Structure 1
């Protein structure tokens, strides 16, 4: 569930945005569901294939010849935007009559490009494909492997001479000069042993798939080995063919056995594999490994199963020994990120941590001694972009201006000379050149589509994408502005929200309300950014008031606000959503007897709790792919917030919608994909059974062979048509 957070980024507080003059329905086109889910009417543009090059003065992007319509990869100068070189085009990408797709996955020396052909999803984040290498000088194309089986996680070595990959749960590399394929491991086996890749739960909850890492000198490969033997299998029925088939994969549920992890280092010269000492405890996590600047020293992050202790280990290849240099503890839990940065002096490293209650940047020496807390304050660093080591300047994104906003800053290693780089209120994200002298700024606000500019330290050089067409389409269809508000609950919680008012809004009219909720730990939906769900605008044109409130437990307001739901997921979040509905019911323009709520994944869980625990407040609810008891969900995510069911039985059952099925009064629609490998169909089946046993009428829909996203073909159009009709008839 880690990344399925439905962040619509529609933030701001009640004072951030000015409301434009309302557009009446008569002035604008009517939105249709086909516009949204079939015709792609409301798309926004991006800069395709953008990548900064090593010289720090140029970048590449995928462009289209206006005459031939052929796509090509161009190198452009940051300074004047002119094309200095056309590196290759689609006409260069034919191999044995196979037309390969264009891409910008360059080797570190920028002499080759890795091309993935016939990419195929495995789970939500992992893919396999046939990989090819294009030599930019000769335009020769070579397959990474001549094996007929697809490869996973193909990755260039730092010197660009080799490509590592996984096939059949074993780790390989190919020497590009000789074409020799070397097999590093030999014990890989489906649902038993994985080498160089992650198991399902690590992919989903620790957010990485490729689990092998080249040393800086390209002479060694560090890799994970997952032993899944004792992890229980989960079966999904695939309803295809005359006889349905069973798909089985290892899925550790809360309190059940996880994979046993070991870390190994393969030496390409002597072909020896060393085992890294990560301790004798088997029931633990290794959420990250990363090479330091020294090609013989590997950093291993080790975490206990409760995820409230994180240790930084340095493994020395020459000494074949491990040393613990830093230990961080938390009374709740520790979130994992990718901000760990080892400096080129090989004497210091940077990391971000919530140890003072907010996520900030810290500088340590290589022995784990704290040198400096670089950023401080009641705000959060949301991304560490990197460091210009020549000037000692750090670049980062933060919420300093507002928890509902993102700005770009620079600061020196001593924590001085902090400078705000971005100037516009909203959400700012940066992509810096290699030497940090230029950056691409992707800016948007709640009422401004992505505006992408190329910048230097002197300001904007030129506009790369202004999404003018998207603006015009929004005006044409009368897309309503997002208005922001905040209120204080009876328990003293200050909550932020946004609302989309119906077209032709009249404050003297009482409108039905549909609330949208996600609400999971660390998430955020109320944010000053453009990413719209146009279904909300469709409903607003139909006369519905759309409201979203970020409850306690959501992110970017400090650790205490985020972690207060610890051991009781669902309790305080539901209280806050019920109070939000009651607050709305007190507004003169709201029909308090027609308030509904819907959500997906964690939001489906919340909607299910709202319509049961809040049965006297909510008339209607829709739950899509909901967790209905945390006992059914995976170990890493669930135990991070709840510990195990064996330790916290009441926390699991007291906040399960299944336990409150007999309280249902209103209209309830339950939706799930039958092939959901993340939140299993089992969740909806068990809630259905509880509702049936309680003799409660409800509606349900299932989507055959669809995963957690429930999409593909006409699926999205069908799904949102069904939900729309339910709202029109039941709210």
Structure 2
């Protein structure tokens, strides 16, 4: 079926002038150019106008240095650029609606605004030089709360009156001036007894104090923070309580510095980056201010089920049963130990509270700082008591779609009786409700797939879900009754659906849609099953479209332990017998790339097309640790990065030789970040499988990476040294046999340049010769400059051409062809 697309005028003019441009044969120089200049820029950041008459989105059809804001009618037509003059008068896309969906509250430019959705009238709640943030409807929608300067304020729309609700102050409470020492008390009493003038002054001082106390009763209690900071201020619906999060930053921890050599000033400038894994972390407490009793409390957690349970991995150390370790790291493994006592209670981080629509109930999400437990608890602010509603425990770590590392997707249903959340209790992230009256937990979805996004309809009667129910690499939108039941599929076309957002009347979807060989574009569709997509934008250029970009085959193969592994396969039309192959390893650790939509690795995707043109077979694997496949795949790298995630690559290489006719002596591997780490592990520990490898911006020693990511997977280095010893490539460098290219940005604030320098010194001391290091003086972790991308991928292509093809068969080894 064909569709008639109404394209924006700017895009039509652009297409007309560029019609003669042809991409021709792929080269590194061509595909690594600035994407905005030749590929095109996809629309993003979609939002609806509150009256539903327009869609707003970021776009760049003009090939400018940055995206601009555009507006288009949901039915199609020409997109119009929104001028900088118009933008301040537009409501913010993000905000909070009241219970009747009649008003929208939002922050913009550090001030608070209130929008009447019926009249479209905007009221400015604040207009100050100080920044106001975090607005919420309060006191059963009768007031508006916001934070300013670390304190909570409310504003009454009816009277315009602003009330300060908290008085947090930095530092410690000042001394009262009254003597505390016995000797001092005696001397004061003696002075007052002897001198009438002093007695009069003392009486005046006491009178002033009483007057100040009387006035203070009209103001919130002064709460002294000491060295703590306060955030997440919330007013209870009845105004009786204010909850807040207290954060205690650790004492000065050593922070890694990254020197920046190429600067405008001409001087080397140090960049403060981060601490390393195992450094002390911020400690959090939930504070509660009882307004009526003018008293503050700090919530305790000692009654939480499992709070004193120690992680399962420590039993390994207690039994002194150690897993195999590499020869040159045996000493580190032999000294492996745990330092925490077995009965120590773990620290936690509180999130919330989340109040029911009727204001009668509240719950918290509490997570252990080792990320192995998440509790959902009811909160009674009057007694400061918590009641366990749900506990999710994972011996590895808690995460997954809709769960994340914070409170995750949680909320209340309109009946104020059911709260909802997502959990991986079954091994896949699904949607649950909990009845606070009966104590019953109910799974609304189930099966071997993930619920990736959730949205509740305005009337609270329907769920809208994004899930990969039909295939792990294919997404669709679904609807489902609020109490659960059959999932009704709304979308039909295979591919990916992103930023899906409903119109204010909930009759129309706006979304981004793409396939594996066509980039994201803006579409609308009716909110009903089987509705057709209506394309609103055309972003790609004729030059990009002149090449027949391949749609890779998404395949599944069995790993050595029987697990199913998904991958993208690119094959030449007429593959050479015993030809070369390249295995690509995506980065980010928890990320999916063997899917049916446009990849965030679009440069690598284009490079894979180039490799296929040159006769290579390319395999892009969603190895253990990747997203989209449930808990077991997600945590398959726990305590051993470079274990199953690496053997999945080795098993993929075997598949290439057994099924696709690839020569076992002509397989290369490459990847960036986590993919660079796996490449190093492959080249060091599997030298007979991979003959050449390109490791880009690689982690070389996990003990030098950050805490937030690494601690979840490998625990702390001083508690689980074995995990670090067997997971860090620097410990295996002696195994290098093939040809290794390493590329790294010198101002990488994520994986520091120090990482690759340390590994280089190790290779020098090991007297290895078949390696090289290319450095990029102006690049951070994600490269930006087209010249850097071009240089890097010319080197990668040269590496493969010279080492994976028979002598004399390589073409374009300089990267120019």
**Pairwise TM-score range, normalised by the shorter structure:** 0.7 to 0.9
- CA deviation vs aligned residue, 1:62-98 (integer Å, no higher than 9, x gap): 599x9xx99888696x7x6799xx999532457xxxx
Residue 524 of structure 2 corresponds to residue 528 of structure 1: no
Alpha-carbon distance in structure 2 between the residues aligned to 1:287 and 1:624 = 38
Residue 547, structure 1, aligned to residue 619, structure 2:
yes
- CA shift, 1:526, in A, is 0.4
Name the SS of the counterpart of 1:566 in structure 2.
coil
**C-alpha spacing 1:231/1:144, structure 2 compared with 1 (3 Å):** farther
Q: Which residue of 1 aligns with 2:136?
A: 157
Q: 1:138, 1:435 → 2: CA distance?
A: 19
2:575 aligned with 1:512 = no
In the superposition, the TM-score normalised over structure 1's length comes to 0.76
CA distance 1:293–1:51, change in 2 (3 Å) = farther
Report the alpha carbon displacement of residue 662 of structure 1 after superposing the two structures with TM.
Answer: 0.5
Deviation at residue 655 of structure 1 after TM alignment: 2.5
Residue 42 of structure 1, aligned match among 39, 44, 49: 39
Tell me what 1:234 maps to. 255
Which residue of structure 1 aligns with residue 348 of structure 2?
285
Give, in angstroms, the shift of residue 476 of structure 1.
Answer: 0.2
User: Contact (CA 8 Å) 1:92, 1:139: kept in 2 or not?
Assistant: no
After TM superposition, the structure 1 = structure 2 runs for residues 120-131 of structure 1, keeping only pairs within 5 Å, are: none
Residues 291-347 of structure 1 deviation map (CA, whole Å, 9 limit, x = unaligned): 222557553322234422221133334444433332222343321332212112221
What is the aligned partner in structure 2 of residue 681 from structure 1? 753
| Count of residue pairs brought into register by the alignment | 655
Superposed, which structure 2 residues align to 1:620-631 within 5 Å?
620-631=692-703
1:227-626 matches, cutoff 5 A: 227-230=248-251, 232-239=253-260, 240=263, 241=265, 244-248=268-272, 251=275, 253-254=277-278, 256-264=279-287, 275-279=298-302, 283-286=346-349, 288-293=351-356, 295=359, 298-335=362-399, 336-337=403-404, 338-366=408-436, 369-387=439-457, 389-391=459-461, 393-429=462-498, 430-433=500-503, 436-450=506-520, 452-457=523-528, 460=531, 463-465=534-536, 467=538, 470=540, 473-502=543-572, 505-508=573-576, 511-518=579-586, 522-531=590-599, 533-538=602-607, 540-541=609-610, 543=614, 544-586=616-658, 590-626=662-698
Q: Distance in 2 between matches of 1:233 and 1:275?
A: 30
CA distance in 2, matches of 1:367, 1:713: 60
| Separation (CA, whole Å) in 2 of partners of 1:403 and 1:359 | 13
Segments of 5+ residues of structure 2 without an aligned counterpart are: 1-21, 173-225, 308-344, 805-817
SS of the equivalent of 1:650 reads helix
CA shift digits 1:672-697 (9 cap, x unpaired):
33443433333323322222221123
Q: Is the 8 A contact 1:551 1:577 kept in 2?
A: yes
| Correspondent of 2:245 among 218, 221, 224 | 224
CA contact (8 A) 1:516 1:546 kept: yes
Using the TM superposition, give the Cα deviation of residue 388 of structure 1 relative to its aligned residue in structure 2, in angstroms. Answer: 5.4
- Deviation, 1:555, is 3.3
Aligned 8 A contact 2:636 2:645 in 1: no
Instruction: Out of 602-611 and 441-450, give the one that drifted further.
Output: 441-450
Shift, 1:597, TM fit: 1.5
Structure-1 separation of matches of 2:355 and 2:649: 46
Further displaced range: 342-351 or 280-289 = 280-289
Deviation, 1:725, is: 4.8
Q: How far off its partner does 1:609 sit?
A: 0.4
Task: Report the TM-score when normalising by structure 2.
Answer: 0.69
Residue matched to 1:651: 723
Q: What residue in structure 2 maps to residue 13 of structure 1?
A: none
- Cα distance, 1:143 vs. partner? 8.2
Q: Secondary structure at the match of 2:722?
A: helix
Q: Against the structure 1 CA distance between its residues 537 and 708, is the aligned structure 2 distance closer, same or farther, given a 3 Å change threshold?
A: closer
Aligned ranges 1:88-237 → 2 under 5 Å: 90-92=84-86, 104-105=93-94, 108=97, 114-116=107-109, 145-146=128-129, 154-158=133-137, 164=146, 170=150, 185-187=168-170, 195=229, 222-230=243-251, 232-237=253-258
CA distance in 2: counterparts of 1:162 and 1:508, whole angstroms: 69
CA deviations on 1:465-519 (whole Å, 9 max, x unpaired) are 353x5385544023222123332234333322112345xx422355432321137
Unaligned runs of 5+ in 1: 1-25, 95-99, 117-129, 198-210
Return the offset for 1:427: 2.2
**Secondary structure of the residue that 2:759 maps to in structure 1?**
helix
Distance 2:266 2:300 in 1: 51
Q: 3-state DSSP class of the match of 2:514? A: strand
Give the deviation of 1:349 after TM superposition: 1.0
Instruction: Name whichever of 721-730 and 313-322 sits farther off.
Output: 721-730
C-alpha displacement of 1:33 = 3.5
CA gap of 1:699–1:474, structure 2 versus 1, over 3 A, is same
Which of 639, 651, 664 is matched with 2:711 structurally?
639
Structure 1: distance between partners of 2:749 and 2:29: 28
User: Are the structure 2 counterparts of residues 443 and 214 from structure 1 closer, same or farther at C-alpha, using a change threshold of 3 Å?
Assistant: farther
Larger radius of gyration: 2
Does the CA-based 8 Å contact 1:602-1:626 persist in structure 2? yes
In the alignment, the residues of structure 1 paired with residue 23 and residue 54 of structure 2 have an alpha-carbon distance, to the nearest angstrom, of: 43
Match of 1:61 among 32, 40, 56: 56
The structure richer in strand per residue is 1
Shift in CA distance, 464/193, structure 1 to aligned 2, threshold 3 Å: farther
Counterpart Cα distance in 1 of 2:292 and 2:797: 62
Distance 1:287 1:721 in 2: 49
Q: Summarize the Cα distance change of 1:37–1:132 in structure 2 as closer, same or farther, 3 Å threshold.
A: farther
Please state how far the C-alpha of 1:665 moved relative to its aligned partner.
1.3
Give 1 or 2: higher helix fraction.
Answer: 2
Cα distance change on mapping 1:681 and 1:74 into 2, 3 Å: closer
Instruction: Tell me, in whole angstroms, the C-alpha distance in 2 between the residues paired with 1:242 and 1:71.
Output: 33
* Cα-to-partner distance string for 1:520-569 (whole Å, 9 max, x where unaligned): 66432101112251344245335143320122332333323333332222
Task: Tell me how large the CA RMSD over aligned residues is.
Answer: 4.5
